[in-house]
Every structure is written in C-alpha cells, then in structure tokens.
Structure 1
Amino acid sequence: MLAATMNRVDPDDPLAGLQVGEHPEPTAPEGWSVVTVRAASLNHHDIWSLRGHGPRNAPLPRVLGSDVAGVDESGNEVLIHSLINDPAWTGDEVLDPRISMLSDFHDGGLAERIAVPTRNLVPKPAGLSFEHAACLPTAWLTAYRMLFVLAGATAGTTVLMQGAGGGVATAVIMLGKAAGVRVWVTGRSEEKRERAVALGAAAAFPPGARLPERVDAVIETVGAATWAHSMKAVRAGGIIVVAGMTSGSHPPLDIERVYLANLRIVGTTMGSRHDLEQLVRLVVDQNLRPPIHEVIPLAETQAGFQAMLAGDLFGKLVARP
C-alpha cells in the first residue's frame, strides 16, 4: 500500500528522512481494527519526529500521521483518537505514564490503511466530511482541552492565542467564538491577522504587542519566541496553558511574576477520548468546520510538508489516499 514513512531522522533537513512509497499492509492483533483511511491531515508532530524529537527507541521505518478519519472493517465511518494507551490503563488517557501518540511507536495514518486499538475509534457523524473529521483528533482536540477543560473559558472570558494561522490557533478562534469567548491572537503577518479576525477572533496584534488589557488565559504553543509576552499578558490569578514549543523549548521564566501574580502554568498533550467525543458533538451542533488550506493526494505528502516548513499555511493540510 502507499504510505508516507519516516526512515531516518535529520535535525537540519527533516524531509531527508521522509519517503512516500510502498509499505507493508497493517495487521490487527486482538482488540485492534484495520481502518481504511479516507483522509489524514499533516501535523507539526510529524516534522518534530523527522527532526529526531520523538521517542529514542521508536522503530524505523514507520508511517507518519496522527490525524485520521476512515471506515472500519464493519463499514462504520470513524475518526481515530490518536493517543495509544497501556491496555491496562483505566484513568484519563492523557495521564497514562506509558502513553504514546499515534505514529510514535505504531504506524500512523498517512497511508491507505492503518491498524489501531478498537477502543480508539470514535463514530464520525454523517454530516461531517472525512477531510474535516481528519482535522479534529490532534489540533482541534488539543485546542478544545486547552480552552475549555484546562483554561475553563466561558462566555465573557478573554483569551490570548499566540500565533494566528496554525491548526490549534484556528480551532481556538472558532471554538471560542462559538462559546462566547473573546479570543485575541498574535500573528507575524498582516494577512494572517486579517484572516484570523475574519474567522472570528475579536482582535489581532503583532507578536509582542501591548494589549488593551491583561487576559484571563493564554494559549501557548509557540514557546521561546512568545513566552515573555505570554507572561506579561496574563492577569493576576490567570493561567497559561502550554501544548507546544514550535519556536524552541527553553524560554525565559519570570519566576517572581509567577508567584507574585499567582499565575498557573499548565501543560497538556492532546485530550482524552471523552474530550474528542465532546468536541465532535460541539462541532456538529455549532456547524463548525475546520479551515482547510488544501487537500492533496497522499502521493504529494512531501510537497505538503515543504509548505508546512515554509509557514505559508492558514488552516490544515489534508492528504487523501
């Protein structure tokens, strides 16, 4: 079958380790299912893996892709919760110490077929396309958990989203607007700031800009480049929710402000299966659809990742076998 695989790591030239070609068909052990992939979106997680930031003992080659929607062996339309747990784990999936992300130790979804634990299958509503469904399990799930579960955003809350054009950012804007949350964003380009406002952001600012007032919560996925601004932007008693570090992992930390302003800094990875079910329900009820930059054939995955590295995207890139 056709698949986009990671064959080696290269910190300086991540796409040197990417190959799009034939790969063995998946097999499903007991408790697992084979899903025929209809759509899979590209993620920065794939780029980080190609740079060598994944688990050190992860097997090679392996298929990339953690956002997947398709059809299971019984003909059910599904999307896949992309956190793989220890089968014995019974609590919140994200707290499992042995948790891994789809494509870390197991083949991911940038392929024609994929094997996953059957418990990871979530029904896809008929009114949601495979392409839109394939945008939800990583970026949109992360945004949902950051915004509602951890930041506790409700109608009237003001939230700052650092970065305007990525998958998490567009999700925070759209989900926040649907819930009555005032979402401010920062963005490097005027075009992305304008598109964020058109999507539903209440205001958009250049990176590091002085805000009209301090916010209740900051959604932080950029890391070193925006961290000092995030620390200054949040109000006393507010919260910074962190789920990424696309600009670097060693930001300055103003410890004095953390304790004097009673700030909370909370990290998260993805979300639970329950969170994903709630997200799907919200998306359908509010008639939300993730912005898609482009749908490309699976065979053109390399060009898709090149566009992602160039940073010229607004919304998700979706590959279709």
Structure 2
Amino acid sequence: MLAATVARFSPDSPLDGLEVTERPEPAGREHWTTVEVRAASLNHHDLWSLRGVGLRADQLPMTLGTDAAGVTPDGSRVVVHGVIGADGHGVGPREPRSLLSERYPGTLAERVAVPTANLVPLPDELSFAEAACLPTAWLTAYRMLFGAASLAPGDRVLVQGAGGGVATATIVLGAAAGLEVTATSRSAAKRARALELGAAHALEPGERVPARVDAVVESVGQATWGHSVRSVRPGGTIVVCGATSGDAPPAELTRIFFTELRVQGVTMGSRDDLAALVRFCARTGVRPVIDAQVPLSRVGEGLARLAAGAQQGKIVVLP
C-alpha cells in the first residue's frame, strides 16, 4: 500500500526526510481493526516527526499522520481517535500513551490499523474530508474551550495565530457557542477570514485587546506568549497546546502569580470528547474549514504549505 513516511530525520529541512512509498499492509491483531482511509489531514506533529522529534532512528521508516476517517471491513463509516494507550483498550494496561505515528504507523496511508475501541461512528452528515480534520486540531480546540478553560456563552477568548488548524477550529467552535472571540494574525487576509468565520475582533500580533479575556488559546509560543499573559483577566486561564514559534522565554512568572493566572496544557482529548465533537458538528451544521486537498502521492505539497504557514484551516490528504 502507498504511505507517506519519515525515511530519515532532517531537523533543518523536514521535507527532505519525506518519502511516499509502498509499505507492508497492516498486520492483523486481536482487538484492532484495519481502516481503509478515505481522508486524512496534516498537523504540525508531522513536521516535528520529520525533524526527528518523538522518534528514534531504529523506528524508521515510520508512517506519518494522526488523523483519519474511513471505512471498516464491515462497511461502517468511522473517525479514528489517534491517541493510543489512553484507556488500555487493545494495547495492554502498561502501554505508554502515544499518538499514531509515534509507536505505531500513522494515517497517511491507504490503510491504518488501530485499536477497535479508538473508532468513533461517523454520521452521514459529515464527509470523510470534514471528519478527517477533527481528531487532532478540532478535538484540541474543543477540549481547550469547553474542558480546560470551561468557557460559557458570553465569555471572551483570545486566539493567537488565526491561520492554524487549532486556531481556526477555536474561532468557529467559539463563535458557534456564543463566545466573544478575538483573533490575531500577521496577515491582513487571515484577519479578514477570521472575522468571516465568526471572530468579533481581529488584531495584529501584540495589539491591545478591546477587553481583557477570560481565556487565551495559545499554540504559537515564543512570539505571542507575552501578549497572552498581558491580555487575560486576573484569575483567567491560558490554555497551551503547542509552540510553533518555539518555547517562551521569559515565562513572565511575576505577572502569572500576581494576577493568579492558570496555565493549562492540552493535547487532543479523549475518545468520548471526539464523539461529542462529531455529534456537535452533525447537529449544528458547524464544519471544519478546509484550506486545501491533496492526493497522498503529492502530500509533500501540503506539508510545504503547512511548514510555510500559508494555510487557513486544515489540509486534507486523499489516498
């Protein structure tokens, strides 16, 4: 079967380590199911894997990808929850927590094997391409807003870096839930798009927010951290799911303890969270924003667009 793999590590030029090549079919395993992938989507995790983060040389070649939607052998439509070992289903009680493409081959392939308990039914209201956007970026946004930050209609949230997958998902989900969303971006086009997607305000990075927010969704890191700390109200929450611009020196600890801020990390969510998100989208008509769709054979084009930060929303890969 065709798959996109990390063939070698390339820290400075990650796409140099990418190979789209034939790989063995997934091996059968008790309590696991092989899914025919109809659509997958890209995440920054794929670029970090190509740089060598989270993988060892003896694991190569490793199939990339954490997100997928497809069909099981009995014809059921499913979304794949990409966290392995969180509940012990199908992997044993001592299985360390990981994402697909870290210990087990990922979803950027024609077929992928996952624990059967990781499969979430896909309703007919959602397409495979839409569903493939949900398990990482949209699930993370959902949990950040309604789990970690516990936001309610009328609350204010600041979303840093409006073009990314998590940020775009946060804008759409937040607006649908009645939050007052403020988004930032260096790009005037992305700020305009954020307003179209439901943001109440769109600012340049570092620009003063109209009012202190109840929570900040932070996925950028070093470039925006100081602004995030200054923009949240006393007692508010900064929810962190990534650091695409690098780690964040200084941490501004004085402001954090003086204003009693809470910093909460989030990586994706549970299978139940994903099932709730799928139902939310099916019932409300909210749909993931798809920036582009590329065939698996040209996945390098999608990864290059992601690496350049040129996308607005998710990049979908079609095997």
Partner of 1:39: 39
Equivalent residue for 1:253, pick from 251, 254, 259: 251
What CA deviation, in whole Å up to 9, does each residue of 1:219-249 have, x standing for no partner?
0000111001001000000000000010002
| Alpha-carbon contact 2:164-2:309 (below 8 Å) kept | no
CA distance in 1, matches of 2:293, 2:155: 34
Residue 158 of structure 1: aligned partner: 156
For residues 84-138 of structure 1, give each alpha carbon's deviation from its aligned partner in whole angstroms, at most 9, with x where no partner exists. 0066479xx9xx9821011111111111000000000000011100000000000
Question: What does residue 214 of structure 1 align with?
Answer: 212
Indicate how the Cα distance of structure 1 residues 88 and 129 shifts in structure 2: closer, same or farther if over 3 A, else same. Answer: closer
Q: Does the 8 A contact of 1:163 with 1:222 survive in 2?
A: yes
Which residue pairs with 2:66 in the alignment?
66
Match of 1:149 in 2: 147
How many angstroms apart in 2 are the aligned matches of 1:196 and 1:300?
Answer: 28
Alpha carbons of 1:259 and 1:86: their partners in 2 closer, same or farther (altered >3 Å)? closer
Q: For residues 288 and 307 of structure 1, do their structure 2 counterparts lie closer, same or farther at Cα, with a shift above 3 Å needed?
A: same
Structure-1 residue corresponding to 2:7: 7
Please tell me whether residue 234 in structure 1 is matched to residue 236 in structure 2.
Answer: no
Task: Provide closer, same or farther for how the CA distance between residues 143 and 97 of structure 1 changes in structure 2, counting only shifts above 3 A.
Answer: farther
Look up the equivalent residue of 1:117 and give its one-letter code.
P
**Could you tell me which amino acid in structure 2 is paired with residue 65 of structure 1?**
G
TM-score (norm 1): 0.96
Cα separation, partners in 2 of 1:196 and 1:86, compared to 1, 3 Å? closer
CA positional deviation for 1:57: 7.0
- Per-residue Cα deviation, 1:260-312 (whole angstroms, up to 9, x for no partner): 10100010111001110111111111101111111111111011111111221
Note if 1:225 corresponds to 2:223.
Answer: yes
The answer for the alignment partner of 1:299 in structure 2 is 297
Give ranges in structure 1 of 5+ residues lacking alignment.
none
CA distance in 2, matches of 1:120, 1:216: 33
CA distance in 2, matches of 1:250, 1:264: 16
3-state SS of paired residue (1:20): strand
Post-superposition CA distance 1:244-263 (Å, at most 9, x none):
01000243111111111010
In the TM superposition, residue 10 of structure 1 has moved relative to its aligned partner by 1.1
Distance in 1, matches of 2:236 and 2:34, equals 44
CA distance in 1, matches of 2:88, 2:280: 30
* Aligned counterpart, 2:82: 82
Q: Which residue of 2 aligns with 1:195?
A: 193
> Once the 2 structures are TM-superposed, how far is the Cα of residue 73 of structure 1 from its aligned partner?
1.4
Shift of 1:58: 6.8
Displacement of 1:208 in angstroms is: 0.5
Return closer, same or farther for 1:13/1:30 CA change in 2, 3 Å cut-off: same
Alignment: residue pair count: 317
Q: RMSD of the alignment, in Å?
A: 1.7
Question: What TM-score, normalized to structure 2?
Answer: 0.96
Whichever residue aligns with residue 182 of structure 1, its letter is E
**Residues 28, 116 of structure 1: 8 Å contact kept:** no
Query: Is the Cα contact below 8 Å between 1:225 and 1:251 reproduced in 2?
Result: no
Overall identity of the aligned pairs, in %: 55
CA deviations 1:136-179 (Å, max 9, x no partner) are 00000000000100101110100000011111111111111111
CA distance in 2, matches of 1:148, 1:87: 21
> Residue 121 in 1 paired to residue 119 in 2?
yes
Distance 2:277 2:166 in 1: 13
Residue type of the partner of 1:225?
A
C-alpha separation between the residues in 1 aligned to 2:214 and 2:125?
A: 34
Distance in 1 (CA, whole Å) between partners of 2:158 and 2:308 is: 24
Residue in structure 2 matched with residue 30 of structure 1 by the alignment:
30
CA distance in 1, matches of 2:297, 2:154: 45
